[in-house]
Amino acid sequence: MDTELGEDDSANWKIVSDLLDSLFEKTEISLDEHKLHKTSNSDGFTYLDSNPTVKPSRFSVSTKPQKNFITPINNFESESYKPNLTEKPHALKSLQESLQLVPATSECPEHYLNPYSYEIMNQPYPDWILQPLPKYDSAPWSSSADDQPQIITTLEQLKTLIEDLRKSKVIGVDLEHHDFRTYHGLTCLIQITSESKVDYIVDPLAPEVRENLKLINEVFADPQIVKVLHGAFMDVMWLQRDFGVYIVSLFDTFHASKELMLGKHSLAFLLEKYVKFRTCKKYQLADWRVRPLGLELVNYAKADTHFLIEVFTKLQNELLQKGPESLTRVLYDSRKVSNRRFEYSTFKPLNQTNEVVSTMASVPLENPGEPNTSVSLSFNYNRDQPWTHLIVSSNLPLAKRPILELLFRWRDTQARASDESVRYVMSDYLLVSMVTYIDINSEVSNQLLLTIINDNSKFSNSSGFIRSKLTELRKYINEGLSELKKMDVKKWNLALGIQEETEKTTVTDNVYESVEDVEQLELDFASLTDE
Ligand code: AMP
Ligand code: MN
Ligand code: ZN
């Protein structure tokens, strides 16, 4: 190609067309190579996704599974989370002793400990874990419909599963979770692979299974059966919260990959490195409530545990080669993961620690055990209030804070009562828009609310809930606004930036009288005075 650009149109076209031809050719070669990988594994890899061009199919869930639960969901917690245990298999400390309330301190409300804490931190791991483990091969991977995991949906099957698992010295475990159409969250699948290479999928949305899952503590709390999970810090919380299940003798492959200083710490990376399996992430955010589970979802879920035991044995060998103290550190880090306790966010310690884990921020209930019905407002500034992050991220003027609080409380109560996420009830974006449009001095109409919702619907696709509650919301807002107007006029004027001539009060004296952290407050205020 010796023709210069710009010399002659037809010559230029030749350059472009040659280039395109060459690109198409390269694309075709790559596609062929890709197809080859899938079918013949010419690169030695097995692929989870046999057809990457296929998009996940869109199933929908017609009824919320919570409706069929034997013990109904109650989101109006009246006290700290109470572990849902009636028996305690493999106990060193009795159940009764483990369910003692820990008195409140200035840092932490009254709470229950993790009831397996003593066992989790003290039970020795089985002796065999300290010796190099023999080679272990996972069962060959198959995505075929004839080779599917056993699905556990009844109490009978659950009992059989427990008997099967008791024969294993080590099992692989993973969970899938849903958090959109529920307030606190919902564990949707528990995948387990036994040492004898059977893959199981426990369906905890099946009411009988959910109600009786704590029977599996027979296995999960047995120190002689090692549970291999990858990055178990959330799984540990979900198991406690939804079923009263605890893990004694956890091996967390995430902490092993950290100790070995592998370049990456994802499960996908470990699978590529140790078992030459290439996973795909396209179903990670699937709606795991769908039933029956499609083949693609089943395979995706199965891949998360199918190879875990093999990965564990390889990691264990590498850790021992590095030195026995490396393995000991991983076991200790794993104990600490298991020892975390679930707590409702409204009862969590003031300073978030690693030992406590909670779901998304909730508005504390004024009368625990009951919905927040009253319109309760304060001008008190508190960095830790659940709406503070919205004030900061949307740079809301001071005068709008009470309206934000009003809507935030409404959203939280609705979400608790209907067992929906606050995101489902009203997105943060819509909530802030409402705050922006609503003026304390004018009554809100259904029409105004509808206009705001419609303006925002291009950014969020779930406005069904709020549309169905329009009149209720309007009444609540107007009631709130009139309460607001009745409040201490001096404070309200101050909030609006109207200074009374006669009184030389400063903002810190009045509005923020409950604040200790004045420095933070002044910083905060500086960003609001441009209003
Ligand atoms: P995994 O351990 O990767 O199978 O993830 C377990 C659950 O965590 C999933 O079912 C999701 O609910 C949630 N999850 C995992 N990855 C993400 C992510 N990137 N964003 C949001 N949620 C996630
Ligand atoms: Mn997981
Ligand atoms: Zn998973």
Domain containing 487 — which CATH number?
1.10.150.80
Q: Report whether 69 contacts 95 (CB < 8 A).
A: no
Ligand 1 centroid to Cα of residue 45, in Å, is 24
Task: State whether 318 and 464 are in the same domain.
Answer: no
Can you list the alpha helix ranges (DSSP code H) found in 134-232?
155-165, 207-212, 217-220
In a domain? residue 49: no
Closest ligand to Cα 236: 2
Instruction: Report the atom number in ligand 1 closest to the C-alpha of 231.
Output: 2
Closest ligand to Cα 177: 1
Residue 519 pLDDT > 50: no
Position 44 confidence tier, pLDDT thresholds 50, 70, 90: confident
Task: State whether 426 and 461 are in the same domain.
Answer: yes
Position 294 confidence tier, pLDDT thresholds 50, 70, 90: very high
CA distance 501 to 508: 17
Task: State whether 134 and 246 are in the same domain.
Answer: yes
In a domain? residue 52: no
pLDDT for the residue 397: 82
Ligand 2 centroid to Cα of residue 382, in Å, is 35
Closest ligand to Cα 235: 2
> CB-hemisphere CA count at 13 Å for 122?
8
Task: State whether 505 and 484 are in the same domain.
Answer: no
Nearest to 388 by CA among 398, 430, 189: 398
Task: State whether 312 and 447 are in the same domain.
Answer: no
Task: State whether 305 and 420 are in the same domain.
Answer: no
27/291: higher pLDDT: 291
Among protein residues, the one with the nearest Cα to ligand 1's atom 22 is 285
Task: State whether 473 and 513 are in the same domain.
Answer: no
Ligand 2 centroid to Cα of residue 131, in Å, is 27
The preferred substitution site among 238, 254, 284 for testing ligand 1, maximizing ligand atoms within 8 Å of CB, is 284
In a domain? residue 118: yes
In a 3-state reduction of DSSP, which class is residue 518? helix
Q: Which helix (H) or strand (E) holds 223?
A: none
What does the pLDDT look like over 115-158, one tens digit per residue?
999 999 999 999 999 999 999 999 999 999 999 999 999 999 99
168/280: higher pLDDT: 168
CA distance 217 to 186: 19
531/282: higher pLDDT: 282
Residue 503 pLDDT > 60: no
pLDDT for the residue 508: 38
In a domain? residue 397: yes
Write out the two tokens for 94.
Answer: 């009795």
Task: State whether 31 and 99 are in the same domain.
Answer: no
Instruction: Report the atom number in ligand 1 closest to the C-alpha of 286.
Output: 10
User: Region 212-224: what's the mean pLDDT?
Assistant: 98
Among protein residues, the one with the nearest Cα to ligand 1's atom 11 is 177
Residue 285 pLDDT > 90: no
Write out the two tokens for 417.
Answer: 């009562």
Among protein residues, the one with the nearest Cα to ligand 1's atom 13 is 177
Ligand 2 centroid to Cα of residue 247, in Å, is 14
Among protein residues, the one with the nearest Cα to ligand 1's atom 16 is 284
351/50: higher pLDDT: 351
Q: Report whether 443 contacts 418 (CB < 8 A).
A: no
Closest ligand to Cα 228: 2
Nearest to 91 by CA among 117, 127, 128: 117
Structural domain total, the chain: 4
C-alpha torsion angle, residues 401, 518, 365, 71 (rounded to 10): 110
Domain of residue 514: give its range: 497-530
In this predicted structure, which of 159-173, 249-263, 428-442, 511-525 has the lowest mean pLDDT?
511-525
User: Region 48-69: what's the mean pLDDT?
Assistant: 79
CA distance 254 to 521: 40
What mean pLDDT is reported for the chain?
85
Among protein residues, the one with the nearest Cα to ligand 1's atom 5 is 176
Ligand 2 centroid to Cα of residue 278, in Å, is 16
Instruction: Report the atom number in ligand 1 closest to the C-alpha of 304.
Output: 4
Ligand 3 centroid to Cα of residue 287, in Å, is 13
Position 54 confidence tier, pLDDT thresholds 50, 70, 90: low
User: Can you name the residues that pair with 46 across neighbouring β-strands?
Assistant: 277
Ligand 2 centroid to Cα of residue 181, in Å, is 20
Instruction: Report the atom number in ligand 1 closest to the C-alpha of 188.
Output: 10
User: Can you name the residues that pair with 171 across neighbouring β-strands?
Assistant: 227
Position 433 confidence tier, pLDDT thresholds 50, 70, 90: very high
433/23: higher pLDDT: 433
Q: For residue 63, give every residue at least 6 positions away whose Cβ sits within 8 Å of its Cβ, in sequence order, or none.
A: none
pLDDT for the residue 264: 95
Q: Is 284's C-beta closer than 6 angstroms to any atom of ligand 1?
A: yes
Closest ligand to Cα 288: 1
Residue 9 pLDDT > 70: no
User: Can you name the residues that pair with 112 across neighbouring β-strands?
Assistant: 101
Of 318, 347, 376, which closes a domain? 347
Q: Is 176's C-beta closer than 6 angstroms to any atom of ligand 1?
A: yes
Ligand 1 centroid to Cα of residue 285, in Å, is 6
High-pLDDT (> 70) share of the chain, %:
78
User: Region 221-240: what's the mean pLDDT?
Assistant: 97
Residue 528 pLDDT > 70: no
Q: Is the dihedral of CA 119, 122, 127, 129 positive or negative?
A: positive
Of 317, 347, 377, which closes a domain? 347
User: Pairing state of beta strands 341-342 and 356-357?
Assistant: parallel
pLDDT for the residue 95: 97
Position 505 confidence tier, pLDDT thresholds 50, 70, 90: very low
pLDDT for the residue 62: 84
Distances (CA, A) of 161 to 126, 205, 219, 239, 371: 22, 17, 10, 17, 40
Of 294, 322, 347, which closes a domain? 347
20/68: higher pLDDT: 68
Instruction: Report the atom number in ligand 1 closest to the C-alpha of 189.
Output: 10
Task: State whether 330 and 470 are in the same domain.
Answer: no
Cis-peptide, bond into residue 292, ω within 30° of zero: yes
Among protein residues, the one with the nearest Cα to ligand 1's atom 4 is 176
Task: State whether 450 and 520 are in the same domain.
Answer: no
CA 353 to chain centre: 17
Residue 20 pLDDT > 80: no
Amino acid at 322: K
User: Region 308-313: what's the mean pLDDT?
Assistant: 98
What does the pLDDT look like over 262-273, one tens digit per residue?
999 999 999 999
In a 3-state reduction of DSSP, which class is residue 242? helix
Q: Is 304's C-beta closer than 6 angstroms to any atom of ligand 1?
A: yes
Ligand 3 centroid to Cα of residue 175, in Å, is 5
